[in-house]
């Protein structure tokens, strides 16, 4: 694994394999949602927001044109309250309003999941909570996968979502493998509260880079395409001595970045999975 050595006010590479080491091929399983998984907003508008976390993108619908007195005439959009927020899950809202007021027909709530690098992955299970009553009319979660921009099935897969606000439903989805995009929709507001995704591709060789900041901190960074890596440090090269270093990385441009204070002692750094 990549190793870096840090000294007071200076970080330098150490060893013949300091900058680049290939990882063995293995599938990487990511289970959402937990407090250790941070989410960064990538884009947002009046109808949806996209966040990035652990190498995946989540785009979820929002009813941001809505306002409390919308049935009485023009007003200032406030959007509707979200009851499930990261890291507890991702909530999607039906879209009931637009720039000119209430829509004639509401648009289903939806969550679209992709990888940051755009490569295929598997969605093997999910848990979702409905946020309104569907017992009267009945409802189903609909999932349509896509590959190369084309629908994976003639019709979406359906999973029963008939119940009352707050009910949760869990399903295994063994047929959702090898697609680039998964769209999950429901005619009622809902939230994903559990999700298992598998990246079947081999991890890329990763370069761990280092520089000093203007305030004499150490900046360690690696490409965002290298998903599911985390930074570790050790005072020596003994494998059992490495522990997680610093806080969760921040996304800056095309890199994941961790900034640490300098010390008077040597530390070795590596990326691990």
pLDDT score of 22: 35
Q: Say yes or no: 148 and 191 in one domain.
A: yes
Domain boundary among 154, 184, 199: 199
Name the residue range of residue 110's domain: 28-199
pLDDT score of 87: 95
Nearest to 161 by CA among 195, 194, 191: 191
Selected residue with higher pLDDT from 257 and 265? 257
pLDDT band at 203 (very low <50, low <70, confident <90, very high): low
pLDDT band at 205 (very low <50, low <70, confident <90, very high): low
Q: Quote the number of domains for the chain.
A: 2
Asked if residue 23 has pLDDT above 50, the reply is: no
Identify which of 14-28, 116-130, 249-263 has the greatest average pLDDT.
116-130
Q: Say yes or no: 59 and 191 in one domain.
A: yes
Q: Say yes or no: 193 and 210 in one domain.
A: no
Asked if residue 2 has pLDDT above 70, the reply is: no
Selected residue with higher pLDDT from 208 and 4? 208
* CB-based contact 70:102 (threshold 8 Å): yes
The rounded mean pLDDT for the chain is 86
Q: Say yes or no: 143 and 254 in one domain.
A: no
pLDDT score of 13: 31
- Determine what percent of the chain is predicted with pLDDT higher than 70: 89
Q: Say yes or no: 71 and 179 in one domain.
A: yes
Selected residue with higher pLDDT from 97 and 213? 97
DSSP the chain: --EEEEETTEEEE-STTSSEEPPPP--EEEEE--TT---EEEEE-SSEEEEEETTEEEEEE--TT--TTGGGS---------S--TTS-EEE--EEEETTEEEEEEEPEEEEEEETT---BEEEEEEEEESS--TTT--EEEEEEEETTEESSSS-EEEE--S-TT-EEEEE-TT--SBSEEEEEESS-EEEEEEEEEE-SPPPPEE-EEEE-TTSEEEEEEETTSTT-EEEEESSS-GGG-EE-SSPPEEETTEEEEEEE--SS-EEEEEE-
Name the least confident of 62-66, 164-168, 203-207, 225-229: 203-207
Q: Say yes or no: 58 and 163 in one domain.
A: yes
Q: Say yes or no: 21 and 37 in one domain.
A: no
| Tens of pLDDT, residues 79-130 | 999 999 999 999 999 999 999 999 999 999 999 999 999 999 999 999 999 9
Domain boundary among 151, 182, 199: 199
pLDDT score of 250: 86
Q: Say yes or no: 63 and 173 in one domain.
A: yes
pLDDT band at 204 (very low <50, low <70, confident <90, very high): low
For range 207-231, the mean pLDDT:
83
pLDDT score of 253: 80
* CB-based contact 269:245 (threshold 8 Å): yes
Q: Say yes or no: 19 and 41 in one domain.
A: no
For range 8-33, the mean pLDDT:
49
Asked if residue 156 has pLDDT above 90, the reply is: yes
For range 2-16, the mean pLDDT:
35
pLDDT score of 235: 87
For range 204-230, the mean pLDDT:
81
Q: Say yes or no: 82 and 165 in one domain.
A: yes
Selected residue with higher pLDDT from 108 and 17? 108
pLDDT score of 202: 58
Q: Say yes or no: 149 and 208 in one domain.
A: no
Asked if residue 10 has pLDDT above 50, the reply is: no
Q: Say yes or no: 86 and 153 in one domain.
A: yes
pTM of structure? 0.69
Nearest to 201 by CA among 29, 26, 56: 26
Q: Residue 193 maps to which CATH number?
A: 2.60.120
Domain boundary among 151, 184, 199: 199
């Amino acid at each position: 694994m990549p190793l870096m050595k840090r000294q007071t006010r200076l970080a330098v590479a150490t060893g013949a394999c300091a900058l680049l080491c290939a990882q063995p091929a293995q599938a990487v399983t990511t289970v959402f949602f937990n407090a250790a998984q941070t989410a960064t907003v990538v884009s947002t508008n009046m109808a949806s927001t996209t966040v990035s976390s652990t190498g995946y993108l989540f785009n979820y619908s929002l009813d941001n044109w809505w306002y409390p007195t919308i049935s009485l005439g023009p007003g200032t959009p406030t959007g509707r309250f979200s009851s499930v927020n990261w890291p507890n899950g991702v909530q999607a809202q039906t879209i009931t309003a637009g720039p000119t007021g209430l829509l004639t027909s509401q648009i289903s709530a939806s969550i679209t999941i992709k990888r940051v690098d755009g490569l295929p992955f598997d969605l093997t299970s999910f848990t979702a909570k409905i946020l309104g009553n569907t017992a009267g009319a009945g409802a189903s979660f609909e999932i349509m996968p896509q590959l190369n921009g084309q629908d994976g099935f003639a019709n979406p897969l359906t999973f029963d979502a008939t119940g009352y606000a707050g009910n949760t439903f869990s399903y295994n989805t063994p047929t959702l493998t090898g697609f680039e995009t998964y769209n999950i929709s429901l005619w009622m507001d809902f939230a994903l509260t559990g999700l298992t995704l598998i990246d079947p591709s081999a991890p890329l060789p990763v370069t761990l880079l280092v520089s000093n900041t203007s305030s004499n901190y150490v900046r360690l960074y690696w490409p965002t395409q290298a998903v599911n890596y985390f930074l570790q440090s050790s005072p020596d090269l003994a494998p059992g001595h490495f522990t997680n270093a610093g806080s969760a990385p921040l996304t800056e441009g095309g890199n994941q970045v961790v900034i640490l204070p300098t010390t008077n002692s040597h530390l070795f750094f590596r990326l691990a999975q």
